[in-house]
Structure 1
Amino acid sequence: MTAGPRPVVLRRAGAADATPAADVWLRSFSTALPTVVRAHSDDAVRAYFRDVVVPSRETWVAESPGGGVVGVMVLADDELSQLYLAPDWRGRGVGDRFVALAKERGPRGLTLWTFQVNGPARRFYERHGFVAVEYTDGSGNEEREPDVRYEWRP
């Protein structure tokens, strides 16, 4: 009997993961949100991951054997502030595993923001028990894109 493919590993990000994690973010954002104008250049996003996100936030990556970083999740206290997957890794259960991990790390509850136009993300979070609690016109985010705040309470 031969073993199947090794599963994706979720682990804390290290300094070497900053650029691959930023690249997942960039690919995912452009694929999932083609109508949303990004507030920062690719290089600025990579610098932000290198200088701020990975060193000072609870950053997790999903690593595929032989495929490198295929997902990134960032937690900030009780906020699930980022969850992005490489486009070809959507629908494979990695996002489900990230949300389960986020709930373990934030057992009293979590909040998150997503853009109103991101129907797939909204359905994903609602399937995981998140409830929309606030809708905005986008004036409070850098992209000036209407968004929605979700909460999950155990």
Structure 2
Amino acid sequence: MSDGLTCRQLALADMEAASNVFRTTFHARLPWLAGLHKPEEDRAFWSGYLFSNCAIWGSTREGELIGVIAFRQGWVDQLYILPHMQGQGIGSRLLYLAKASHARLNLWTFQKNTGARHFYESQGFEAVRETDGADNEQYEPDILYSWRRCA
């Protein structure tokens, strides 16, 4: 790619960097939820559950991991782009990988995360359900989005 951005499937050795992208972005965009988990818990989640159950891809520029996506059949589990790199099409490129692999995708985001909501809606996702957050570990009201490839 001419902008120096590369996308590749991540290996187990990349999970610490992936968890750092997650942690940095999550804390910047959702500061009222910061500190829910310790960094070592984030690393264990990325190298354990996510790595075992999802395809995990990353975007790099000049060797730095700047965005990550974890997806599996029917779901986008994680999509995070470092705050200073947002708005440059990186999330769209990563989301394209999931859309190319699956005809239907669902994902959850928090209702207060207006930036993410705007992004997903601009990518063709539709809100299908809102909750009061009672069923997520943050107890934060969330919203389920769904996307389906056109025939």
User: Aligned runs of 1:3-152 on 2, under 5 Å?
Assistant: 6-66=3-63, 68-106=64-102, 108-152=103-147
Q: Is the 8 A contact 2:26 2:34 kept in 1?
A: no
Give the Cα separation in 2 of the matches to 1:32 and 1:86.
10
Give me the whole-angstrom Cα distance separating, in 1, the residues matched to 2:49 and 2:131.
26
Distance (whole Å) between structure 2 residues aligned to residue 87 and residue 38 of structure 1: 18
> How far apart, CA to CA, are the structure 2 residues paired with 1:33 and 1:27?
10
Q: CA RMSD in A?
A: 1.6
The one-letter code matched in structure 1 to 2:97 is L
* Whole-angstrom distance in 2 between the partners of 1:110 and 1:120: 19
Q: CA deviation at 1:127?
A: 0.5
- AA aligned to 1:109 is R
Count of residues in Structure 1 that have an aligned counterpart in Structure 2: 149
Identity of aligned residues (%): 36
CA distance in 1, matches of 2:11, 2:19: 13
TM-score normalised to the size of structure 2? 0.92
Q: Distance in 1 between the 2:43 and 2:27 partners?
A: 15
Structure 1 segments, 4+ long, off by >3 Å, are none
Structure 1 spans left out of the alignment, 5+ residues: none
Q: Secondary structure at the match of 2:31?
A: coil
- How far 1:52 sits from its partner (Å)? 2.4
CA distance in 2, matches of 1:11, 1:25: 17
User: How far is the alpha carbon of 1:7 from its aligned partner?
Assistant: 2.2
* Distance in 1, Cα, partners of 2:43 & 2:131: 27
Once the two structures are TM-superposed, the CA of residue 36 in structure 1 deviates from its matched residue by 2.4
Residues 80, 110 of structure 1: 8 Å contact kept: yes
